[in-house]
Structure 1
């Protein structure tokens, strides 16, 4: 490689737009996922660059992938993280085909362009350039690619439970943040509330126990909970949102069963075990006031909030890189969504930074797109952050 060739010059020779288009044309809507097809595409790119990697198949059509660049010198371990799956395209009509990667006036359209194949491929290319320059830094960098993020971090859980990912100092997750630095995000509790009442003829409702009314009373109690008053400097209060409700069979029968799912988003000030106690106490109180009734609480997903110190090395390094590239607003922020970081943080204590190209408000939207210029900026920023971070020597752990 020409020693004078910087990342911008190098990148233009890698056909970055064509690579991302190829990824968008690979349908990884979850469910069912089918992420293996995209993982194999990424593996081929890594193999072409001569980067060691390993594919970890899970259920049919699904897989994680880990790639590793080792400098041969003692230093820190940094992880680049991204997911392969996307949400569905929705019922609304798209202006451009959702799986074509069509480019119009500097934008690429398609499902996953912003969330988060654009960020993933920015990382992949930055990782590949980092491999070309591995004599210039120390320690090692890993690329951790997961399946099933959109349905609760299934791939990240498999990655950690099966010890596919080693201990790390810091991790960058390439979710779309418009290159802003997200150092905190909410945790999530998904619960199913099952209300059992007593059926009766609708003309004699006093003879039964309406399970739908019980569900209504239950959620009303949650809405009045003091849990929603918890404060955090970067995140909003805890929220309780009913996302699905089912109950009743006929218009003239008092329903004896109703179930609802509740999406609870928590900030780091809230302990999930405290919320689970609240949910059970509320169930006991509501059911106890209605004879012949009961309420069951089933936990569907339990992932903690993420918080990284503004003083951490990875955050300071990212701030410096953005400043050097003309960004003045480098104040770290929080996000109300959750990421694979919730899973990773349950198993390891490394610092986690979320940043990447793409407008966060476009995630999961019809006509999702990414600015091609921002996609390319992502490659440059990821490389510069990694190269600077892995040139530091003030680490507690040292890898080779």
Structure 2
């Protein structure tokens, strides 16, 4: 490939990526309509036949296929269109107006994972334009709602969109390393109860204080003593807190939301047992969502 060809491909990739970043798709709240419409148009411009599957209001998957020779199962190029929210902190660079500074492009989703979408589309379009056919179909599968409940990926499985696939390549940011394992995500609400009362009365059973004590113990808790060769150790993050009804009232309820990243060998019931061991009988544990860890042969 000549330098001119490489430059043209990079220009096309950056243009596509900039367009993806400029179409906001944070989840929550979760709405891929704008970015899916943009992707649909761009893929058709590259010459692909596109399926636009709006399976719920505002929740859209995009699927395109480059036919292969039919000798092998298909290869899926998989990525999610949604991003994390932008938060409340002021951004140094506008989140939805992409800016190139030096050798980096800034914007929400530039790494996770709109750059992956752009790279996969450009790679597939190169194969198409050169008339090169893989032994099986190449399937571009861009899903909704990965950041919360993987609703788009579940929909693809439900309708059989990937039933003839044998391999799956996901363009999550990995510093260009090929990774054959991924941690699971166990989301829990940790709830504790106390007793309400006027805050001027000393003592009492303050649910917030109990939750603080639990979180201190949580920071020292080891879920696994043996590191995974690729994923290393599991992690626990406290990413949500809720408690209290009035400044002058002792809280009888407190809740922390945990994001626990699990290893392939770990079991949910055993994790909760370890959490119970650092709490008391006033605590309860509610599973919000669970995405199992994955590991394939290297």
Q: Are residue 301 (structure 1) and residue 286 (structure 2) matched?
A: no
Shift of 1:247: 1.9
Q: Are residue 159 (structure 1) and residue 153 (structure 2) matched?
A: no
Q: Are residue 52 (structure 1) and residue 11 (structure 2) matched?
A: no
2:37 corresponds to which of 18, 24, 40? 40
TM value normalised by structure 2: 0.87
Secondary structure at the aligned position of 1:115 is classed as: coil
Secondary structure at the aligned position of 1:15 is classed as: helix
C-alpha separation between the residues in 1 aligned to 2:178 and 2:264?
18
Question: CA RMSD for the aligned pairs?
Answer: 2.7
Per the alignment, residue 28 of structure 1 pairs with 25
TM value normalised by structure 1: 0.66
Shift of 1:137: 2.8
Unaligned runs of 5+ in 2: none
Q: Are residue 185 (structure 1) and residue 179 (structure 2) matched?
A: no
1:274 corresponds to which of 265, 270, 284? 270
C-alpha separation between the residues in 1 aligned to 2:91 and 2:219?
36
C-alpha separation between the residues in 2 aligned to 1:97 and 1:15?
22
In proportion to residue count, which structure has more strand? Answer: 2
**Runs of 4 or more consecutive aligned structure 1 residues displaced over 6 Å after TM superposition:** 5-8
2:236 corresponds to which of 234, 237, 240? 240
Number of residue pairs the alignment of both structures matches? 297
Q: CA distance change for structure 1 residues 145 and 90 in 2, over 3 Å: closer, same or farther? A: same
C-alpha separation between the residues in 2 aligned to 1:129 and 1:268?
36
Per the alignment, residue 13 of structure 2 pairs with 16
In proportion to residue count, which structure has more helix? Answer: 1
Give CA-to-partner distance per residue, 1:157-208, whole Å, 9 cap, x none: 22223433324222111112221122222111110112122223445455x4
* 1:373-392 matched pairs, under 5 angstroms: none
Per the alignment, residue 145 of structure 2 pairs with 148
1:286 corresponds to which of 280, 288, 296? 280
Question: 2:65 touches 2:140 (CA, 8 Å); kept in 1?
Answer: yes
Give CA-to-partner distance per residue, 1:285-342, whole Å, 9 cap, x none: 612xxxxxx33321111011121222xxxxxxxxxxxxxxxxxxxxxxxxxxxxxxxx
Per the alignment, residue 225 of structure 2 pairs with 229
Q: Are residue 265 (structure 1) and residue 261 (structure 2) matched?
A: yes
C-alpha separation between the residues in 1 aligned to 2:241 and 2:22?
35
